[in-house]
Chain A
């Protein structure tokens, strides 16, 4: 072909446009930032810290919350609930590949991931607000320590990952429980040193601070950790549990409300009994809980927006009858949304009434401001640690150390508050322990403390862990309690239910996680690879 001069401008034009075009292939997302462009300022660090609280909200979801609730002997599912997946935890129906007991594994690592990101990127940030920066790093340590503590209570040893680089490893192995606890102790102790005693009204970046963690939360978590280690793992660390509980008590920052129910009312957010909570705004579903579905009666319209819920979590008959007669915490009213009792046994929701609820009284301590008009907008702050638990941990530790008198004294502080009823009453029950001829030996007082914990922390997802840890101190306790108290394991003829399997005290590592990472070993009873010593409970 003869060269045509008129081709020159054409070739040039094409060549230039080719050079400019490859910029088109570089992605510049507009709707989101990336980890490379973020974490540059103090405000970024604060936002990243708030992200840990956002992940914490997962603990109030259906699988995380209703599993320990229903699995305990304190609660049972509604006998009209049709979905096996929903009432499954009540019958301990879970395995490595199905059921809800495997879900918390992922929920807790979401908290740990955000905390690791803050602790990795935080120290390098230059900001003038060094106070909030120090608080943010301490908050991350507390929430990370708390998440690992909860993981060990559910699953025993888990992969211990403390940096984003650790997390990028596709095949981490499960660390021993001792290794995880030592990391938790380090995190919580450093958090306690770095956290504020209380937050001012503003976190330095214009955000309200109700719900942000304080020194008290670190102290509670440490008390809880040593209580678990002493009871479940048989280590004699009762003095440490007692000391940490005492530092909460002696700080003078916290106190018991006169009215037990008032602790949980949305109008009372941030009251001096709440040490660690999951905050809920009730404004939009992304910052609200769905406790209406779990606790509000089915008889008031299921989840059709008429004021009811699934009515999923009922007290067992044993538990309902265990309250001392007249105990405010076991009181039941018949006026629907107008009652000031701890349980509702009949009456009207918003539009539907039932003289008596079809399957018995329902717990009524989580009261939404809108009285059930919108089930997806729950504004009750979900309690994780309350001051009452500091008193009872102190009492239990003192009892185990042999100081029965001190133990009973602190136990009775809880009872005294319950006697105040709606605040200014003077009920006779629950009477002070020891004034009606009760035995004062260690075992009887331990029994009384555990029962007090059941009454005090009813429907706060704590009873399951009490059953499991006391089982180490008194073998058979877990199984016998479930058989005696939970209708799912009722042995009366002619149709005795299957017995609970001992291995179910530990929850299974999700099979999907083992499929993605075969280096993970499995807890006994669920199949899979057995773990090296120290990873699972002996």
Chain B
């Protein structure tokens, strides 16, 4: 009897979304109240998502000179997602990855109805069905966002505006593993986390407008302060008398764990100025300057200055353009400016002491040890300088509208974590080193194909191309002390997961001349075959050319396959990406279709390190049925070999290009006769999302990013939550 674990992990989930909004007002006061409730059952069992939000906006004119406004919103998100994605191999496998690795001949429950805790494979996998259904992992976030502003017109040309805003966030995690599953040990284990943060902003500006010469001058000067404060507490315990109390009575746990708490604060101060000069609405000049200070940088490097300038020319309004009929509108935009980045954790410039532990008998003694990153008192702003040229226009009497942007940007003093020699007492330091370049083109084209009273058809195409390149990575002294340029940072491994041997499994590299997100591993050129003896076997140790094993390129020609034979196998940056949307209306019916596409990027299908490598440590995918043996040699799947190291072979690096029908919506505007309840307008619609995807990627979905936003880490699929196909039916009405 076999069990289909991946099928047992997945289900069809229902989702619902309701919203209502009320707006109105008059000259003196305008208001908007809205509420929204969304709930979603995840397609993996045991996962779901709820969100409630309420918003209130007010905008009033207290007098002819004083305007004020306020906006308040409250949101609560609750998400259950126990071990649904990412994770690692064997014991740490989660979600779909674990379901694929679980032994299919093993029933999920035994004859007495208890969950079987692990799969009897060489590298045991926890029971994913049990984990999804029994484990509690409730993540909640409540957010309160509010702001209030006042604008005082001292004179028709001089205005003052002040804004005060606050963002209060409360996070909670309830995690509990009962004794019926592997994670719960003998009698359950759980922890509860509470975090709260507040972000306060005060922004004040003064604006002045007056005519000057042939045009109008518009000046703005401003000053803003932002502070962030976060604190958190975690309490953990295990060994509970009953699983019933879940994590809500940690004091009843017989096994106590030390609690954890933390506080983090940082601040940002900015001064800004802007001058706009508008001549005849045809020539627009802008000049801005910002001076920003951030607390996260070194003591003498907190401030940075970021100027920029722009020019726009409405060519379409020029007299010479009135005598042609091709362009109905044309505008040229040019800009050049600098912007700063300070998105790093605070306290990296300080020499931190953390706590280490020592035992004496059965007593624990805390000790102050050097911790964290190597301090860097010279830590300063990362700066990006960008030149952008754009052309917006419309052709053929507004039937075709286009927007074309070309940009060149260079980021200097890149904030990067760099490995330092362990002889310094630290392993890494956050440094400003190197520079990268991003050049690209963005095009947007909208055509009104048909425009008749009853039938319209519009299409919009967007296309983007970005070329990223690392320009330099600083210098370091060589063995004789001279400064030589650094050509490559040491290879590094993904943030999570233990897919590649030996730990750490380095799979990414940052190299001068290449783009960020470069994937680094062994180039496989085929499999060794029986006839590959003598000269055909280019390794010094002839026994290493075993038939059925991967034939790896010996790039440094030393006769051995070592870590020095690794090379860049591809990059996660796409060559281009974009979308095509079409909107067709036929009387009261409307049809919207959005296709999006990405081309030319590579994704590491890390799950194949356990699924397609034929190492028989857990259940593998059907690709291993195509493995090499003496009668079947025309394949890229090697022979079964328990001892094959799980390195990053080029066979795991797949093309992530895809074309997807992202949304298809069919809607109908109800005629007056069918309107219900006094509605002014009403529309019913059916939407399908993610209807089909054309891709060569062999994992679940090529649009995967298990690593988060750091661009040094390329795209890797370590068992990401599968993307679902959704059908929605809905009604929208206004009253």
Q: Bound state CA distance, A4 and B423, in angstroms?
A: 64
Is A50 in contact with B358, judged by CB distance below 8 angstroms? Answer: yes
Chain B interface residue bracket vs A: 35 or more
Q: Chain A residues near B204 (CB, 8 Å)?
A: 14
Q: Which A residues touch B186, using CB under 8 A?
A: 305, 373
Partner-binding segment picked from B35-43, B306-314, B477-485, B718-726: B477-485
- When the two chains form their complex, are residues A25 and B302 in contact, meaning their CB atoms are under 8 A apart? yes
Q: Is A29 an interface residue (CB 8 A)?
A: yes
Q: Is there an interface contact between A14 and B423, defined as CB atoms closer than 8 Å?
A: no
Q: Which residue of B lies closest to A26 (CB)?
A: B295
A533 to B366, CA, bound (A): 43
Question: Which of B116-124, B244-252, B443-451, B591-599 forms contacts with chain A?
Answer: B116-124
Q: Residue A364 at the B interface, CB < 8 A?
A: no
Contact (Cβ within 8 A) A35 B425: no
Q: Mark A369-391, 1 if CB is under 8 A from B, else 0.
A: 00001100001000000000000
Q: Are A161 and B363 in contact (CB under 8 A)?
A: no
Considering only CB atoms, which chain A residue lies closest to B298 in the complex?
A27
Whether, in the assembled complex, B182 has its beta carbon less than 8 Å from a beta carbon of chain A, the answer is: yes
B370 touches A54 (CB 8 A): no
A513 close to B (CB within 8 Å) = yes
User: B645 near A84 (CB under 8 angstroms)?
Assistant: yes
| CB of B211 to closest CB in A, whole Å | 13
Assess whether B707 is interfacial by the CB under 8 Å rule: no
Q: How far is the CB of A380 from chain B (nearest CB, A)?
A: 11
Chain A residues with CB under 8 Å of B210's CB are 1
A18 to B359, CA, bound (A): 51
Q: Is the CB of A55 within 8 A of B353?
A: no
Which residues on A sit within 8 Å (CB–CB) of B481? 171
Chain A residues near B160: list those with CB within 8 A: 10
CA separation between A36 and B349, bound complex, in Å?
13
Whether B727 is near chain A, meaning CB under 8 Å from some CB there, is no
Contacting residues of chain B (653-695) with chain A, CB-CB under 8 angstroms: none
B503 touches A85 (CB 8 A): yes
A284 at the interface (CB under 8 A from B): yes
Query: A114 within 8 Å of B by Cβ?
Result: yes
B101 proximity list for chain A (CB < 8 A): none
- Chain B contacts of A114 at CB under 8 A? 369-370
Residues in A with CB closer than 8 Å to B501 are 83-85
Q: Is A95 an interface residue (CB 8 A)?
A: yes
Binary flags per residue of A266-287, CB closer than 8 Å to B gives 1, else 0: 0001100000000111111011
A168 within 8 A of B: yes
- Judged by a CB distance under 8 angstroms, whether B422 is at the interface is yes
Question: Which chain B positions have C-beta within 8 A of A54?
Answer: 356-358, 367, 369
- Nearest-neighbour CB distance to chain B for A142, whole angstroms, equals 15
Q: Which of A184-192, A337-345, A516-524 contacts B (4 or more CB under 8 A)?
A: A516-524
Residue of A nearest to B365 (CB): A207
Judged by a CB distance under 8 angstroms, whether B368 is at the interface is yes
Please report the total number of A residues contacting B with Cβ < 8 Å. Answer: 100
Main secondary structure on chain A at its contact with chain B? loop
**Distance in Å: Cβ of B231 to nearest Cβ of chain A:** 9
Please determine whether A25 and B269 come into contact, CB atoms closer than 8 angstroms.
yes
Tell me whether A110 is interfacial, beta carbon within 8 Å. yes
B118, B362, B541: the one within 8 Å of A281 (CB) = B362
* CB–CB B427/A21 < 8 A: no
Q: Which chain A residues border B296 with CB–CB below 8 Å?
A: 27
- Assembly CA distance A27 to B227 (angstroms): 12
Q: List the one stretch of A98-106, A452-460, A464-472 in contact with chain B.
A: A98-106
CB distance from B346 to the nearest CB of A (A): 6
In whole angstroms, what is the CA distance A88 to B647 when docked?
Answer: 14
The answer on a CB contact under 8 Å between B367 and A47 is yes
Cβ of B578 to closest chain A Cβ, rounded Å = 39
Q: Does B538 contact A (CB under 8 A)?
A: no
Say yes or no for A237: interface residue by CB 8 A criterion: no
Select from chain A the residue with minimum beta-carbon distance to B424. A167
Known: A14-B204, A171-B477. A110 touches B425 (CB 8 A): yes
Whether B305 sits at the interface, judged by CB under 8 Å, is: no
Residues of chain B within 8 A of A211, CB atoms compared: 358-361
- CB-CB under 8 A from B357, the residues of chain A are 54, 284, 286-287
Report whether A34 and B353 are in contact in the complex, using a CB–CB cutoff of 8 Å.
Answer: yes
Q: CB distance A34 to B351 under 8 Å?
A: yes
Residues of B within 8 A of A516 (CB): 419-421, 490
Cross-interface CB contact of A518 among B263, B295, B367, B476, cutoff 8 Å: B476
Q: How far is the CB of B218 from chain A (nearest CB, A)?
A: 14
List residues of B (361-391) whose CB comes within 8 Å of A's CBs.
Answer: 361-372
- On whether the beta carbons of B367 and A109 are closer than 8 Å, the reply is no
Q: Give complex CA distance A47, B266 in Å.
A: 29
Find chain A residues with CB under 8 A from B502 CB: 84-85, 88, 98-100
In the complex, A512 has a CB within 8 A of chain B: yes
The reply on A250 being an interface residue by CB < 8 A is no
Minimum CB–CB distance for A517 against chain B, Å: 4
- Smallest CB gap from A13: residue in B: B204
Q: Are B358 and A287 in contact (CB under 8 A)?
A: yes
Bound together, the chains give a CA A4 to CA B157 distance in angstroms of 13
Is A25 a contact partner of B267 (Cβ separation < 8 A)?
yes
Nearest A residue to B295, CB-CB: A25
Chain A residues with Cβ below 8 Å from B370 are 35, 51, 113-114, 117
Whether a CB of chain B sits under 8 angstroms from the CB of A80 is yes
Q: Are A208 and B363 in contact (CB under 8 A)?
A: yes
**Chain B residues, Cβ within 8 Å of A50:** 356, 358, 365-367
Q: Is B113 positioned at the interface, with any CB of A under 8 Å from its CB?
A: no
Q: How far is the CB of B201 from chain A (nearest CB, A)?
A: 13
Report yes or no: B490 in contact with A512, Cβ–Cβ below 8 A: yes
Of the residues B263, B269, B420, contact of A30 by C-beta under 8 Å: B263
Residues of A close to B185: CB separation below 8 A: 305, 374
A24 to B229, CA, bound (A): 12
State whether the Cβ of B34 lies closer than 8 Å to any Cβ in chain A: no
Is A27 touching B347 in the complex (CB atoms < 8 A)? yes
Task: Give the interface centre of A27, A53, A173, A512 by most chain B CB atoms within 10 Å.
Answer: A27
User: Are B423 and A53 in contact, CB atoms less than 8 angstroms apart?
Assistant: no
Residues B563 and A511 in contact, CB atoms below 8 Å apart: yes
Q: Contact: A35 with B353, CB < 8 Å?
A: yes
CB A534 to nearest CB in B, in angstroms, measures 17
Does B32 make an interface contact (CB < 8 A)?
Answer: no
Tell me how far the C-beta of A53 lies from the nearest C-beta in chain B, rounded to whole angstroms.
5
Is the CB of A302 closer than 8 A to any CB of chain B? Answer: yes
Q: How far is the CB of B400 from chain A (nearest CB, A)?
A: 46
Which of A173, A281, A498, A518 meets B359, CB within 8 Å?
A281
Residue of A nearest to B238 (CB): A374
**Alpha-carbon distance between A38 and B350 when the two chains are bound, in angstroms:** 13
CB-defined A-B contacts under 8 Å, sample of 24: A14-B204, A24-B225, A25-B293, A25-B295, A28-B265, A29-B352, A32-B354, A38-B353, A38-B368, A82-B615, A84-B502, A97-B564, A114-B369, A117-B370, A170-B420, A171-B421, A210-B361, A269-B361, A279-B358, A281-B360, A282-B362, A374-B185, A498-B543, A527-B562
Given contacts A27-B296, A35-B370, A84-B501, 16 further A-B contacts (CB under 8 A): A28-B265, A34-B350, A35-B351, A36-B351, A44-B368, A48-B368, A50-B358, A54-B369, A85-B503, A95-B562, A167-B423, A281-B362, A287-B359, A303-B91, A511-B563, A527-B564
- Please list the 5 inter-chain residue pairs (A to B) with the smallest Cβ-Cβ separation, ordered nearest first: A54-B356, A113-B425, A50-B367, A281-B359, A97-B563
Binding site for B on A (CB under 8 A): 1, 4, 6-7, 10, 14, 18, 21-22, 24-36, 38, 44, 47-51, 53-55, 57, 80, 82-85, 88, 95-100, 105-106, 109-110, 113-114, 116-117, 159, 161, 164, 167-173, 207-212, 269-270, 279-284, 286-288, 302-305, 373-374, 379, 498, 510-513, 515-520, 527, 529
